[in-house]
Amino acid sequence: MNKPGLLMARAVFPEALARLRQHFEVEPNDDDTEYGFDELSRRLSGKQALFSTAGEPVTAALFEAHPQLRAVCLMTVGYNNVDVAAATARGVLVTNAPGVLTETTADLGFALMMATARRMGEAERFLRSGQWTKWRYDLLTGSDVHGATLGILGMGRIGQAIARRGALGFGMKVVYHNRTPLAPEAEAGIGPAGARWVDKATLLRDSDHLVLVLPYTRGNHHAIGAAELAQMKPTATLTNVARGGIVDDAALAAALRERRIAAAGLDVFEDEPNVHPALLELPNVVLLPHIGSATEATRRRMVDCAVDNLVAAVTGGTPPTPVNPEVLPLAPWLR
């Protein structure tokens, strides 16, 4: 019996490829080339499955061009690059990797918020450039994290993990905004004082340090723009470890340049890997190359989750993390 074909959209750990080759005819991407739509479509010809990383354009047109495609399995939590409705309409399984990167991304999010508040990026550049010649009472003074008000926009798994770090480790007061408030017991579990749901305007007004952890959707595009930035304290910081496009990068650059907010820490960008040129010119922003989940242990768990989903689909098992479980009864799958 012929094995189904699998396209790897990006390079992964060799051990994962070896495991996948037991079940699939694998076309690897050892050069880690980024495939645009045309190249992705060409390489998918005749293949039943795609291993994706949330960067590839998996559109309705792609599903229409490849009716043989049965599964798209991502190693990331986010899947806004996939037209899930179109996949579901054609009975194509979509899976992601929730949970496995929560704590690692929360570590990075909290660290980035602290680096932003205490001007660590600016301070390192100051030292490396030879400008540090003496102590001064106001040298690179930032803002306190301990005891401050931590605002979370998007109180999912990662948002709650960041909130716990602030409440339990730094005595921060936690306010948050979600479309739906957490259950009372979940709010109480954040820390001694719990967490308090507020409307978005109150969150913007009251947060000393605002962290964005909401998923990207059309409705969340530019959830933080010029109007929202104008509602924040001039002493506040903004940290984005969610997705590019949630923040209007041009509006943020203007607010930072004019000191309408104190500083920002960004791990994601609207047009990444391209960064808005105005952000690159500013001293009061910490910029990271989308490394929220970047520990080897976590990246291995992310890849393994995608592999588990693919292997389950091809061997008749139940994929552990389906995005569209309603297609599960629509046999045959890859088998």
**What residue type is 179 in one-letter code?**
R
The three-class DSSP label of residue 52 is strand
What does the H/E/C string look like for 102-163?
Answer: HHHHHHHHHHHHHHHHCCHHHHHHHHHCCCCCCCCCCCCCCCCCCCCEEEEECCCHHHHHHH
Catalytic, 290? Answer yes
Marked catalytic residue, from 272, 299, 300, 301? 272
CA gap 69, 45 in Å, rounded: 9
Before 57, cis peptide (omega within 30)? no
Classify 140 in phi/psi space as left (phi over 0), alpha (psi -120 to 50) or beta. Answer: left
Amino acid at 314: V
CA neighbours closer than 13 Å in the CB half-sphere of residue 227: 4
DSSP-derived secondary structure for 257-322? HTTSSSEEEES--TBTTB--HHHHT-SSEEE--S-TT-SHHHHHHHHHHHHHHHHHHHHT---SSB
Instruction: Give the Å distances, CA to CA, from 144 to 71, 79, 149, 288, 303.
Output: 48, 35, 10, 22, 37
DSSP string, 83-102: -HHHHHHTT-EEE---STTH
Cβ proximity of 313 and 49 under 8 Å: yes
What's the distance, Cα to Cα, between the start and end of the chain in Å?
Answer: 10
Q: Which one of 157, 221, 222, 290 is the catalytic residue?
A: 290
Residue 272 annotated to the active site: yes
Which residue among 70, 119, 209, 243 is the active-site one?
Answer: 243
- Residues designated catalytic: 243, 272, 290
